[in-house]
Amino acid sequence: MGLYDAAKDAANILKEAGKINEYQKILDLIDDLFNKREEIEKLKAENNQLKEEAKIKEEYIFKNNCYWHKESNDGPFCSRCFDKEKHLIRIIPRRPGSNNAKCPECKSLVNYTGINESVVFRPI
Ligand SMILES: [Zn+2]
C-alpha cells in the first residue's frame, strides 16, 4: 500500500467517524504530498539538465570563438547557442577553405580558425 492510499484510507475512516476537522487535515496533507512530489520531479529534471551541462562543459573547450570536443577535436560548435540555450549546434564554413563559419540556428558568423581571411591584393 502506497503512502497516498494509506492517507486516503485514513481520511475515509475519519470521514465516516464524523471527524471532519481531522478528515480535512488528511486531505490537506494529501494535497501537500502531491505538491511536494511535483516539486521533486521538477528539481530532478533541473538537476539532470545541470549535470548534462556540466558534463558538456568538462568535455568541450572554448577556442577560436567556438566550442570543440577536448579529446576528439570534434567541432566547431556555436558558442552563442550553447552559452544561451545549452544546445550544441555545429557551425558550417561559409565555403570550402573559409576561416569563417555560420551557425544554422542563430546565424552567428565567427572566425573559427583563428586565421584572418586572406587579404586580396589588387594589381596596380
Ligand atoms: Zn548558434
Helices 20-59, 3-16: axis angle to 10 degrees equals 170
Q: How far is the CA of 71 from the centre of ligand 1 (A)?
A: 22
Q: What is the pTM of this model?
A: 0.63
Question: Per residue in 67-92, pLDDT tens?
Answer: 999 999 999 999 999 999 888 999 99
Q: In this structure, which residues have their CB less than 5 angstroms from ion ligand 1? A: 78, 80-81, 89, 103, 105-106, 108
Q: What is the pLDDT along the chain (124 residues), one digit of tens a residue?
A: 688 888 889 999 999 999 999 999 999 999 999 999 999 999 999 999 899 888 888 999 999 999 999 999 999 999 999 999 888 999 999 888 889 999 999 999 999 998 876 655 556 5
Q: How far is the CA of 47 from the centre of ligand 1 (A)?
A: 24
Judge whether 80 and 90 are in contact, CB under 8 Å.
no
